[in-house]
Amino acid sequence: MPQGPSTLQRAAARNIVRKYLRVRAGENVIVESWDHTMPMASAMLDEVRRVGGQALLVFNDEGAWWRAIDRKQSRLLGRSSAPEWAALRAADAYVNFWGPGDTDRIERLPDRDGAAFDWLWPWYEVARKTGLRGVRMTTGFVTEGRARRWGVDLGNWEERVLRASLIDPKELAREGARLARAVSSGRRLRITHPNGTDLEVALAGVAPRVQDGRPHPWTRRASPSGMLTNIPAGNVDLILDGRTAQGTFRANRRTNIWWTWHAGGALEFAGGRLRSYSFEDGAKEFVRQYRLGSSGKDRASALGFGLNPAAHDVPNLERWEQGCVTLVIGGNRGLGGTNGSSFFSWFSLAGSEIAVDGTPVLRAGRLL
């Protein structure tokens, strides 16, 4: 018999449906799942119905998806069916589980076979028009292939992701407001760490964005995918003046972007530009994409500050780890900035000290 949801999966689903998505009686909710996320998706269906919502499960059968890839039908996969579009237009809320689950295989595909995901941008366009709000579940990234490659225990990894999903978004909002006031009160920020990080950047004068994980229908101030939030959640985004960056930034957390990743990144800035970089792992894909990137790829464009107290050193949750600072380089329009580069990446550092105009505001990752 298929495995049912665990107690922890049910608790996380209840918290997400009630406190993050805030599903109301009578609302239509789509839950989209793959094989490896079905137990959690099942718990989501239960919780939507407990509050009186009407749930529709969209199941992506992984075996059939890969057989279509083998038949060279990527473009067909990239075109959603008419019933799918009709369901999206009628939905109030949406839950997405990342997939497919065979991440070893998808990382071997040329250019990640992007044609199979061509439906994504038209999907965002419809979601913007209909007022949809939704969440993306990071549990979908917890796969056997990644656990094996990164040397982590699969069950322990999933448990830590789920526990980070139990945090009350109101708590994240309160801490985010405090941190936003502290880091946006001046003009220049200096980031230091015993690992050799010593980087000075300047603020762009744009109000910080507190991401507490509660999704809202799209507005013109949001990114094209701004109706969706990641769960677990919790961070503050701060736009930088891309003309100013001087010094060294050394990451001590992994970076995961879609199917690519890198670890141990070290960046050297001078005169506002990225002058050199190196990695402990994952350099090949970064170098390839960086070389293809358009103007602005070498600029420090944003800082993110993690808020989630349950996300300590959890793969795929680096940007949300409480006290972790994330440096973004390249395009930042999705965060509300003006850098339109086709390239972007980020680097996360836990346990740093942040000073604003010479006054310390964070020490060892904790707000003073």
Q: 21-35, pLDDT tens digit by residue? A: 999 999 999 999 999
Question: pLDDT: is 98 or 336 the higher one?
Answer: 98
Q: Is the pLDDT of residue 113 over 60?
A: no
Find the mean pLDDT for residues 99-110: 85
User: What pLDDT band is residue 141 in, cutting at 50, 70 and 90?
Assistant: very high
Cis peptide before 224 (omega within 30 of 0): no
| Tokens, residue 197 | 């990080």
Instruction: Identify whether the C-beta of residue 17 lies closer than 8 Å to the C-beta of residue 47.
Output: yes
Instruction: Identify whether the C-beta of residue 158 lies closer than 8 Å to the C-beta of residue 315.
Output: no
Find the mean pLDDT for residues 94-120: 84
Q: How far apart are CA 149 and CA 262, in angstroms?
A: 12
Tell me how far apart the 2 most distant CA atoms of the chain are, in Å. Answer: 61
Instruction: Identify whether the C-beta of residue 162 lies closer than 8 Å to the C-beta of residue 140.
Output: no
Question: What CATH number belongs to 7-164?
Answer: 3.40.1830.10
**136-168 residues labelled b (16+ CB within 10 A) or e (exposed):** bbbbbbbbeebbeeeeeeeeebbbbbbbbbebe
User: What pLDDT band is residue 261 in, cutting at 50, 70 and 90?
Assistant: confident
Q: Is the pLDDT of residue 245 over 50?
A: yes
Find the mean pLDDT for residues 230-235: 96
Q: Is the pLDDT of residue 112 over 60?
A: no
Q: How far apart are CA 18 and CA 14, in angstroms?
A: 6
Backbone dihedral angles phi then psi of residue 141, each to the nearest 5 degrees? -85, -10
Q: Is the pLDDT of residue 334 over 90?
A: no
User: What pLDDT band is residue 210 in, cutting at 50, 70 and 90?
Assistant: very high
Pairing of strands 266-270, 353-356: unpaired
Instruction: Identify whether the C-beta of residue 51 lies closer than 8 Å to the C-beta of residue 23.
Output: yes
Find the mean pLDDT for residues 322-344: 91
Instruction: Identify whether the C-beta of residue 195 lies closer than 8 Å to the C-beta of residue 250.
Output: yes
Q: Percent of the chain, pLDDT > 90?
A: 80
Find the mean pLDDT for residues 147-175: 95
pLDDT at 223: 82
Find the mean pLDDT for residues 215-239: 92
Lowest mean pLDDT among 68-82, 118-132, 256-270: 256-270
pLDDT at 103: 87
Find the mean pLDDT for residues 280-308: 92
Find the mean pLDDT for residues 161-176: 97
Q: 180-196, pLDDT tens digit by residue? A: 999 888 899 999 999 99
Q: Is the pLDDT of residue 143 over 50?
A: yes
Q: Is the pLDDT of residue 1 over 70?
A: no
Find the mean pLDDT for residues 64-76: 94
Q: 267-292, pLDDT tens digit by residue? A: 999 999 999 999 998 888 888 889 99
Q: Where in the chain is the domain with CATH 3.40.1830.10?
A: 7-164
Per the listing, tokens 């609302």 go with 27
Secondary structure (H, E, C), the chain? CCCCCCHHHHHHHHHHHHHHCCCCCCCEEEEEEEHHHHHHHHHHHHHHHHCCCEEEEEEECHHHHHHHHHCCCHHHHCCCCHHHHHHHHHCCEEEEECCCCCHHHHCCCHHHHHHHHCCHHHHHHHHHHHCCEEEEEHHHHCCHHHHHHHCCCHHHHHHHHHHHCCCCHHHHHHHHHHHHHHHCCCCEEEEECCCCCEEEEEECCCCCEEECCCCCCCCCCCCCCCCEEEECCCEEEEEEEEEEEEEEEECCECEEECCEEEECCEEEEECCEEEEEECCECHHHHHHHHHHCCCCCCCEEEEEEECECCCCCCCCCHHHECCEEEEEEECCHHHCCCCCCCCEEEEEEECCEEEECCEEEEECCEEC
Q: Is the pLDDT of residue 110 over 70?
A: no
Q: Strand pairing partners for 248?
A: 198, 268
Four-residue CA torsion sign, 336, 339, 341, 345: negative
**257-286 residues labelled b (16+ CB within 10 A) or e (exposed):** eeebbbbbbbbbbeebbbeebebeebbebb
Q: How far apart are CA 182 and CA 177, in angstroms?
A: 9
pLDDT at 181: 93
Q: Is the pLDDT of residue 4 over 90?
A: no
Per the listing, tokens 């390239």 go with 343
Question: pLDDT: is 90 or 256 the higher one?
Answer: 90
